Structure 1
């Protein structure tokens, strides 16, 4: 997991998916930042079978080079986040093309587009529907975002593969550059994405841990001593935080 810490840059955090223990904290956001973890791994003679990670190319390249027998699992959280990023690019592109007096139709809807449709109030759903009707590219992209989410509800891998193939066809025929790009990305990472259904492994605990690190830095108004912050991160699973996290 990568975590930006104020103006100090990025920290790379490795955790055990079973125990939740923090195994390593490195500085930076490139794969080489994990070389220190590899040294510890060799000395411990531990065997890593699965790695849950986001779609960052640097991490994927490092894992393939250093853990060639480990199965990479791309968590669905990151796939949907990437899809939302593409959706936002479409929304911004359309907004730039509009006259100033027409931008009100699309302005301020980002968080509503990013949320799951079923979690929106009826008024918000109506706003999204109207916007998608007015701007066809946005409507197509939003529909395929929701379709991609629904694929993750399917349990049978064969049905998942068929559903993804149908999704690819729709994306390729959409003529929306951002959708075509997203389809290429999913195809490129298909093995790791499909591994989610084979292994049922998720990095969801990392996202919760990410929130706790944010809580930790806010409580201390930021840590000037980076090494001390790293020590606190190692101890974070033992730290009690508010239930609102």
Structure 2
């Protein structure tokens, strides 16, 4: 601290016999300016000693004793007759230094909980959180419009019922948050909206303004009808892209449903470890290129020999046909190849007569414009899924949040601090 001079350093021992250091400090100037009128005074009325806490240094505990002086105001017309000297890092009535508060705020911003930082620095939870909130509000700014926007939802916590004091009605708190992520730049998590409805998306986008919305060109979402409808209303000029991971997950879910249904129909019970279809359940969900020839041959022969209906292998082939169709994005295949693979996948599902595969084909058909947009653009929602993981990590570290404002501040800073320049002090 440039305004403070160290008078002496003592080695002391606390009540438990642990050694430590005691630093005595004071202001080197023999004068001070009245904070009320600004007149310089050199008349000392009395001296006081305070114990502000400062940053720890070294393995031993460090204590600070500030020998302060109280000056008498030299201006007779000033309403303030006396004042105590202070410095920038230790303002009046402060019990902790400013750099300790900033260090605590940076520790919370790095991903630690407020309670853990408070225990380490011997500070109260409200004090640590107040300085972290000031630090976060100074760093975070209004998000810039992205070229590619990702939208997804995360669960906030258990629902709670709150009674309105005016109307007396009970309302349930929203359990989900809709997240808006910058997929084309360093914006990170742009913001959150309560609920996973189309209205939440429309309201959040309208709050940004027409100029902000006009910059968005592509929007990546999961196959959620409410989000698609909202984007078409709020961003009619944007191209909607459905994430291919969830489409493959739908195919895997259909395959699992077929396997479970066939087992119940053929064996009259649930699957067991002795059943070939149950023993190969994870291999069925794995991509063909990730299976060795020996593993694939064993899986295929087991199902051919012990599953007479052939529905499980039919569902597996449908899953692989869908993966081949979506692989056109990686291969940059021409439109003729895309059409050929789509026709092959649709015909295979429909000709099979299996209800689960017919539903899968209908879903792909309903989302085909968005699927084709993924194949042609290659935009995925992977960064949004990664942001969802960071959001959940933040909630786990804090053991949940009660205050929605505190949650959104912590979440957005944690999901964005790696892409912004945070001052070191």
Structure 1 segment 213-228 matched on structure 2, within 5 A: 213-228=391-406
Deviation, 1:192, is: 0.8
Match of 2:156 in 1: 5
TM-score when normalising by structure 2: 0.51
Query: Aligned equivalents of 2:417 and 2:157: distance in 1?
Result: 21
Deviation, 1:126, is: 5.8
Match of 2:347 in 1: 169
Deviation, 1:164, is: 0.8
Match of 1:99 in 2: 268
Contact preservation (8 Å) 1:131, 1:139: no
Cα RMSD (Å) of the superposition?
2.5
Match of 2:254 in 1: 86
Query: Aligned equivalents of 1:95 and 1:6: distance in 2?
Result: 36
Query: Aligned equivalents of 1:101 and 1:74: distance in 2?
Result: 34
Query: Aligned equivalents of 2:227 and 2:279: distance in 1?
Result: 34
Does the C-alpha gap of structure 1 residues 214 and 162 become closer, same or farther in structure 2, counting only changes over 3 Å? same
| Structure 2: runs of 5 or more not aligned | 1-151, 160-174, 419-425
Does the C-alpha gap of structure 1 residues 49 and 43 become closer, same or farther in structure 2, counting only changes over 3 Å? closer
Structure 1 segment 92-131 matched on structure 2, within 5 A: 92-97=260-265, 98-100=267-269, 103-104=272-273, 105=275, 106-107=277-278, 110-120=281-291, 125=296, 128-130=299-301
Match of 2:373 in 1: 195
| Structure 1: runs of 5 or more not aligned | 241-245
Task: Say if 2:204 is the partner of 1:37.
Answer: yes
More RCO (CA 8 Å, sep 6+): 1
Q: Which has the larger radius of gyration?
A: 2
Q: 138-147 or 111-120, which moves further after superposition?
A: 111-120
Task: Say if 2:192 is the partner of 1:25.
Answer: yes
Contact preservation (8 Å) 1:11, 1:25: yes
Structure 1 segment 112-151 matched on structure 2, within 5 A: 112-120=283-291, 125=296, 128-130=299-301, 132-133=303-304, 134-135=306-307, 136-151=310-325
Query: Aligned equivalents of 1:221 and 1:25: distance in 2?
Result: 20
Query: Aligned equivalents of 1:77 and 1:101: distance in 2?
Result: 28
1:201 is paired with a residue of what secondary structure?
coil
Deviation, 1:201, is: 1.4
Superposed CA deviations along residues 32-61 of structure 1, whole A, max 9, x for unmatched, are 121331222326543122111111111111
1:80 is paired with a residue of what secondary structure?
helix
Match of 2:244 in 1: 76
Deviation, 1:120, is: 4.9
Query: Aligned equivalents of 2:270 and 2:401: distance in 1?
Result: 45
Query: Aligned equivalents of 2:302 and 2:208: distance in 1?
Result: 51
Match of 1:15 in 2: 181
